[in-house]
A = this chain, B = another copy of it.
Amino acid sequence: MIEYADAGPEVRAVYDDIMATRQTDWVNNFWKTLAHDPATLRRSWEMLKVVMAPGALDALTKEMIYLAVSITNQCSYCIASHTASARAKGMTDAMFQELQAVIGMANETNRLAIGYQVEVDEQFKTSDPL
């Protein structure tokens, strides 16, 4: 991992932007690991900023969707870091518990639909959901 003190100007610029955007004074290990590859570091951070910014969906809803993916994928680092982010953006205990219940149940019914080889209803069929 590359610490701020050891980083070149391109990496420092990203670290500075991460801390300014998040209003914190530290950078988490994910970015310090990516910093070996400054182009990927910058590109990933730019992408994250755009995708996670409030838009048609607010920032907390986006964090919870991110967490739903990370729990389904069972990525420990991602669960730890995005639980913290969602907390920082206002996720209460009750919201966290409902989030878990939806994720758990979706994983259950996903397998029931698959195991029983349920055919898609005509009413749901569409090649293009837009």
Contact of B129 with A116 in the complex, beta carbons under 8 Å = yes
Contact of A104 with B98 in the complex, beta carbons under 8 Å = no
State the copy count for this chain: 6
Tell me whether A117 and B103 are in contact in the complex, defined as CB-CB below 8 angstroms, given that A110-B69, A110-B70 are known contacts: no
Contact of B112 with A110 in the complex, beta carbons under 8 Å = no
Contact of A111 with B103 in the complex, beta carbons under 8 Å = yes
Main secondary structure of the interface of A (DSSP, over half): helix
Contact of A40 with B97 in the complex, beta carbons under 8 Å = yes
Query: Contact residues of A with B, CB < 8 Å?
Result: 1, 26, 28-30, 33-34, 36-37, 39-40, 43-44, 47-48, 50-52, 55-57, 61-62, 64-81, 83-84, 87, 92-121, 123-130
